[in-house]
Amino acid sequence: MKSRLLFVIGSLDYGGAERHLVRILPGLAKTWDITVFTLSHPGAQADELRAKGVKVRSSWLGPKKNTGRFYRSIRQLGAVSALVCHLLVERPKIVHYFLPQAYMIGAPCALLLGIRTHVMSRRSRNFYQSKYLYVAKIERVLHRFMTAVLGNSLEVIKDLRSEGVAESKLGLIYNALAPGELAIAPDKNSRRDLLELPNDALVLVKVANLIPYKGHRDLIDALALVDRNIPWHLLCIGGDSGILGELQAHAEKLGISDRIVWLGRRADVERFLKIADIGVLASHEEGFSNSILEYMAAQLPVIVTRVGGAAEAIKDGETGILVPPHNPPALAEAIVRLADPEIRRSMGKAGREQLISKFSYDKCIENYETLYRSLMSGQGIPPTLKHV
């Protein structure tokens, strides 16, 4: 009989942590009885997980945006009640928390109900704690009760160490792509006509939700510095957090709005990666971006800011170009350098090889399998997950 694992997360809408779960859980479900509990609505990717044999449960009255404090409190209470009922009935062997909301709501519930094994995964740097001091205090208390605390990059591990997590509890598991995502083959003309892109266009793609720290404004400023004789066009893929209008107005002011295509949230990202020439990330902070791996799978050279785990994924000058954050001139210089098709081809090929050798799906699944087996046997974090 398979042992029960419960994963707690806010929802399965599109985002880095959510996409990571959608990728790994079908592989883990071959060995474990897995349920995902979402504290709010199931999310856009829930059906994809269900179709692959993973159970998804949700609260009755999960948290909902844009409501008053009273209604938010009612929904939070509904989420807690539903989670407690699920824990009482199912009694999972391990509860694994993804993202701060799930950690702060889910961990106290499971701890009070006597669940013995707890895992928390941090997927970003801890800069949010400086804005929400109460979150920092709650998380530091909860860290003491975790059986294991995971990071997805060495920079995230450093943050966790600074928060007082014991070295014996710390483990590193990198992101990975699902096997089918490695089959992305370049097809430069497949959708360029539909997007009205010239055949000779240098197409940049940026896959990131429209959130200020993702650096879209920096990239727009950088593109305004690039020689107009370079026929660049930018595809922006990602959901809007409320800054789309501001970004469009800024691009209009700089006279480059006609070269930027805003595609919104997409489930078919790989179709646009196929027609791109360069993958770009201009984030001010990250844990370890899934987009980097997606670019590498599509054999795109990557321009990425040196934040979070970027330097662990990209070999500067070999598989891509690392630039400082908040630095549009450096971004512009990198774009001009990658206007050379031979450099793009060489870096793209090397990046795909790096992806296959260092960030394989099988290795990622094996790391989680090894972790859960070790924790259930009372042995703690396995040596293979120890950070350096």
Domains in the chain: boundaries? 4-176+360-385, 184-358
Q: Can you give the pLDDT at residue 136?
A: 96
Question: Do the domains 184-358 and 4-176+360-385 match in fold?
Answer: yes
pLDDT tier, 181 (very low <50, low <70, confident <90, very high otherwise)? confident
CB atoms within 10 A of CB 48: 15
Q: Can you give the pLDDT at residue 248?
A: 98
The number of angstroms, rounded, from the C-alpha of 241 to the middle of its chain's C-alpha atoms is 16
**Interstrand relation of 202-207 and 117-122 (parallel, antiparallel or unpaired):** unpaired
C-alpha dist (Å) from residue 49 to 24, 46, 160, 335: 10, 5, 30, 37
Residues 51-74 have pLDDT tens digits of 999 999 998 665 555 567 777 778
Question: Looking at residue 273, what DSSP letter applies?
Answer: H
C-alpha dist (Å) from residue 374 to 117, 265, 274, 367: 11, 38, 40, 11
Q: Can you give the pLDDT at residue 78?
A: 87
Number of helices followed by number of strands (H, E) in the chain: 15, 13
**Interstrand relation of 202-207 and 55-58 (parallel, antiparallel or unpaired):** unpaired
pLDDT tier, 311 (very low <50, low <70, confident <90, very high otherwise)? very high
Given a contact cutoff of 8 angstroms between Cβ atoms, the answer to whether 113 and 87 are in contact is yes
CATH architecture of 184-358: 3-Layer(aba) Sandwich (3.40)
Q: In sequence order, which residues have a C-beta less than 8 Å from that of residue 348 and are 6 or more positions away?
A: 298, 299, 300, 301
Q: Can you give the pLDDT at residue 366?
A: 97
Is the pLDDT at 195 greater than 90? The verdict is no
CB atoms within 10 A of CB 217: 17
Dihedral sign, CA of 158, 164, 166, 169?
A: negative
pLDDT tier, 75 (very low <50, low <70, confident <90, very high otherwise)? confident
pLDDT tier, 192 (very low <50, low <70, confident <90, very high otherwise)? confident
Is the pLDDT at 213 greater than 70? The verdict is yes
Phi (first) and psi of residue 269, to 5 degrees: -55, -40
Q: Give CA–CA dist 251/145, Å, rounded.
A: 48
Residues 6-59 have pLDDT tens digits of 999 999 998 899 999 999 999 999 999 999 999 999 999 999 999 999 999 998
Global pTM value: 0.89
DSSP string of 93-158, one letter each residue: SEEEEESHHHHHHHHHHHHHTT--EEEEEE-S-STHHHH-HHHHHHHHHHHTT-SEEEESSHHHHH
Q: Give CA–CA dist 249/158, Å, rounded.
A: 38
Q: Can you give the pLDDT at residue 278?
A: 98
Residues 231-265 have pLDDT tens digits of 999 999 998 889 999 999 999 999 999 999 999 99
C-alpha dist (Å) from residue 206 to 81, 203, 261, 269: 39, 10, 11, 10
Given a contact cutoff of 8 angstroms between Cβ atoms, the answer to whether 234 and 277 are in contact is no
Rg, Å, the chain Cα set: 21
Average pLDDT score over the chain = 93
Once rounded to an integer, what is the mean pLDDT over residues 271-288?
94
Write out the CATH class of domain 4-176+360-385.
alpha beta
Residues 316-360 have pLDDT tens digits of 999 999 999 999 999 999 999 999 999 999 999 999 999 998 999
Q: Can you give the pLDDT at residue 163?
A: 98
Once rounded to an integer, what is the mean pLDDT over residues 220-235?
95
